[in-house]
Amino acid sequence: MLKKILSLPAIIFAALIGVGCFGSCLDISTKENLLAVSLLLKGVIAFALPMLVFSFVLYGLLSLKNESIKMVLILLPLVCVSNFSGFWVSYMAAVPIIKTGIVTISKFDVRDVLTPAWEFNIIPLVKNDVALLAGVALGIVGNLTKWRAIDNVKVKLNVAANFILKKVICPVLPIFVLGFIIKMQHEGTLGLMAREYAVLLLLVGVLSYGYIFVVMFMLAGRRLQSAFSKFRNLLPGVLIGLFCMSSAAAIPVTIDGSEKNLENPDIAKFVVPAAANMHLLGDCFAIPIIGLALMVSFGYELPTLWQYLTFTLYGVVAKFAAAGIPGGSALVFLPLFENILGFSPQMLTAVVAVYVLFDPIATSSNVFGHGMFAILFEKVYNRLARRK
């Protein structure tokens, strides 16, 4: 019972309730310092993340021996198919609701921004994508050459990565999240979403979470209890995505939760970090729905099926170039909105502004989608490549 009470989701919910009730009692200096601590911890996690990504990807590929190349060849098409499906489910489900006119967008300014009291920038030695590619390349080379020395490196790196994950990162996650909850409370982000965009927020949240959970339910053999159990394992990462708006920061916890959901935990160590910046189901719902709602609000005709097909095909490619900053996913879609759907400069500004406001929902859905995708990948991999 004590373990459940002190679990990360319970602590985060307690922090949310506490800040909601007593956050206004804190002076501005305390809020700014708590935010600064959270940003410092975010920098520490970002600094350690490339090493974790490299270690987990290398370990996962080497553990699967000669199957490593097959895993990579399965991963990329499956990411594209999953993203494409998300785009079209969001379109087919949202258009009938948006046509009614009950979803509108007008205000999108967030004022009284909370800034950190101090900043201590920690610059990662290498980028996550470089670490990912290095892990994939070394894993494939190690399997092809049967290089024994690399197995010792694999084990030592995995021990070090698990120590950093479970003994360093996980214990500080509640403090890491607290500053961002205070920032949302101070800026009134939650209240603004509830007042101005309640229907649109509900539409994005229900469709994205609902779609991912339905897919997980199907992958769990249509057993509701099993699907809820898998979701519970992913909940810590989902909450980090919700309050910290960083799917990258949630990768270590998502790997840990995904390992509990899979028959082969090594697959989680490869799939989650490898697909984290490419497989973004939350964005597949949030970005198109915001765009469609803007078209109705500004008096535009909704796109034809051919226009939306063109938009989604380019969108699937754009997923591979999403920037790791707040609103970064929306930024790479601006040329598509402008050139394919004919958005005006004012509408393009609104897309980014509203997406930043909805970033907590989109990011948490992305994290939930990472965990679901790991299950999907294992099912497909077992069907296509695993030896009997």
Q: Where are the beta strands (DSSP E) in the chain?
A: none
In order of 41, 101, 217, 237, 263, the CA distances from 227 in angstroms are: 32, 35, 5, 16, 15
Six-digit token string for 160: 């070090």
- CA separation for the pair 347, 295 (Å, rounded): 8
Question: Would you say 233 and 251 are in contact if contact means Cβ atoms under 8 Å apart?
Answer: no
C-alpha 377, offset from chain centre: 17
- CA separation for the pair 199, 195 (Å, rounded): 9
The overall average pLDDT reported for the chain is 83
Mean pLDDT within 262-290: 88
| Nearest alpha carbon to residue 366 among 335, 322, 334 | 322
Supply the pTM of this predicted model: 0.81
Dump the DSSP string for 303-340: PPHHHHHHHHHHHHHHGGG--SSTTHHHHHHHHHHHHT
- CA separation for the pair 224, 105 (Å, rounded): 36
Residues in the chain: 388
Q: Does residue 359 register a pLDDT over 80?
A: yes
What is the Cα gyration radius of the chain?
Answer: 21
Mean pLDDT within 314-331: 68
- pLDDT classification of 227: cutoffs 50, 70, 90: very high
Mean pLDDT within 95-121: 76
- Beta-carbon contacts of 73 under 8 Å, excluding residues fewer than 6 positions away, are none
- Beta-carbon contacts of 323 under 8 Å, excluding residues fewer than 6 positions away, are 329, 331, 332
In order of 84, 167, 267, 318, 342, the CA distances from 270 in angstroms are: 22, 21, 5, 22, 39
Q: Which pLDDT value is given to residue 124? A: 81
The verdict on residue 363 lying in a domain is yes
- CA separation for the pair 362, 321 (Å, rounded): 17
- CA separation for the pair 315, 107 (Å, rounded): 26
Burial of 387 (0-12, 13-18, 19+ CB in 10 A): exposed
The verdict on residue 121 lying in a domain is no
Six-digit token string for 388: 């009997």
- pLDDT classification of 196: cutoffs 50, 70, 90: low
Q: Which pLDDT value is given to residue 310? A: 92
User: Which range of residues forms the domain containing residue 371?
Assistant: 2-12+26-38+71-114+173-384
Domain total for the chain? 1
Q: Which pLDDT value is given to residue 265? A: 85
Question: Would you say 46 and 164 are in contact if contact means Cβ atoms under 8 Å apart?
Answer: no
Taking the CA of residue 204 as centre, how many other CA atoms within 13 Å lie in the half-sphere pointing to its CB? 31
Q: Does residue 297 register a pLDDT over 70?
A: yes
- CA separation for the pair 144, 138 (Å, rounded): 10
In order of 138, 237, 252, the CA distances from 159 in angstroms are: 18, 21, 14
- Give the rounded percent of residues in the chain with a pLDDT score beyond 90: 24
Taking the CA of residue 388 as centre, how many other CA atoms within 13 Å lie in the half-sphere pointing to its CB? 0
Q: Which pLDDT value is given to residue 191? A: 66
- Give the rounded percent of residues in the chain with a pLDDT score beyond 70: 89
Q: Does residue 6 register a pLDDT over 50?
A: no
- CA separation for the pair 237, 256 (Å, rounded): 9
The verdict on residue 186 lying in a domain is yes
C-alpha 66, offset from chain centre: 30
CATH (domain of 190): 1.10.3860.10
The verdict on residue 144 lying in a domain is no
The verdict on residue 333 lying in a domain is yes
Q: Does residue 312 register a pLDDT over 90?
A: yes
Question: Would you say 254 and 367 are in contact if contact means Cβ atoms under 8 Å apart?
Answer: yes
The verdict on residue 89 lying in a domain is yes
Dump the DSSP string for 102-166: ----------S----S-------SS-HHHHHHHHHHHHHHHHHHT-THHHHHHHHHHHHHHHIII
Residue 383: how many CB atoms within 10 A of its CB? 9
The verdict on residue 163 lying in a domain is no
Six-digit token string for 57: 């990807």
What 3-state DSSP class applies to 72? helix
Dump the DSSP string for 345-360: HHHHHHHHHHHHHHHH
The verdict on residue 142 lying in a domain is no
Query: pLDDT digits over 148-168, tens only?
Result: 777 788 888 888 888 887 788
- pLDDT classification of 234: cutoffs 50, 70, 90: very high
